[in-house]
A = this chain, B = another copy of it.
């Protein structure tokens, strides 16, 4: 199966373009990818710091997975649907989510799940793999309406073990809906390595059971990811049905800020990868080879992003406290009498105390 699903690559670790691949990615596009990945990485690093400082709660880092997330998200267009997990903020940010709201998510705020008007992003799914059938559903709806909008859904290697992974893919394939199932295989589900998760050597091969298009790409090569997703998205748009993509990647850090990865793996692997397979370093090398890199450009980006992040943090920190109405608003369209009574009682007791 490893032979049947070779890891598609466009830009290799040294920054060289694979001569066998036809790609029409421009330098400008690559620079744009670099910017988007840098933005995602800087936000991630900053978030880890905010968590350490107690300014946000437990945080889920994605450092190392920027190419997979940015490359895939960049292949979507306005009106398309995105279904992230808790780890996919690089993707949602790229697709237009608000940085402030992403930060609010880690403050335990409902706003964290709310993208700007007109941007179709579901709140990040917490129960693993449960979002796959949703993506099949929104895609099916678009197909029924005859639009060309697609659904892109994120999930990890661990998620492939859940029944909903299977049911989501099966529905999508039976009804030939325009959905792209985008797997980020970062090798671990918390502490559980891929070889304990499945006997299969690849995730891509799981598409074979559904007669579904499937492929495996280097998830740290943004060009390869973008190209593969773009192709899958185009196929979906034009009625060609769903695709399963495996993007092989790695998370440098812990599962979340509450996790200690040294319990289950040697973190020197991450150090090594930072020097080799890193998605940003690779573009830096590429751009340098292409003589399209200047340190001034890179630091101007950094500055710009830094400002954006600082502004978002400020907004996050100045954001009004959660109002108690958020407890019951939107549970139903109109609250039931049970909740109404409970809240009245609650407020009465609070008032008495105050």
Contact = CB atoms under 8 A, between A and B. Distances in A.
Contacts of A162: 163, 167
Q: Which of A170, A176, A196 has the most CB of B within 10 A?
A: A170
Interface in A133-165: 161-165
Interface stretch (A34-42, A69-77, A107-115, A208-216): A208-216
Nearest to A166: B166
Contacts of A205: 208-209, 211
A199 interface: yes
Contact of A201 (B166, B170, B211, B212): B211
A161 B211 CA distance: 14
Contacts of A206: 209
Contacts of A212: 199
Copies per complex?
2
A165 B161 CA distance: 11
A19 to B, nearest CB: 32
Contacts of A173: 198-200
B164 A1 contact: no
A200 B196 contact: no
A322 interface: no
A209 B211 contact: no
Contacts of A270: none
Given A161-B170, A163-B163, A166-B167, 9 more contacts: A1-B208, A163-B166, A165-B166, A174-B198, A176-B199, A200-B210, A201-B211, A205-B209, A209-B209
Interface of A: 1, 161-167, 170, 173-174, 176, 196-201, 205-212
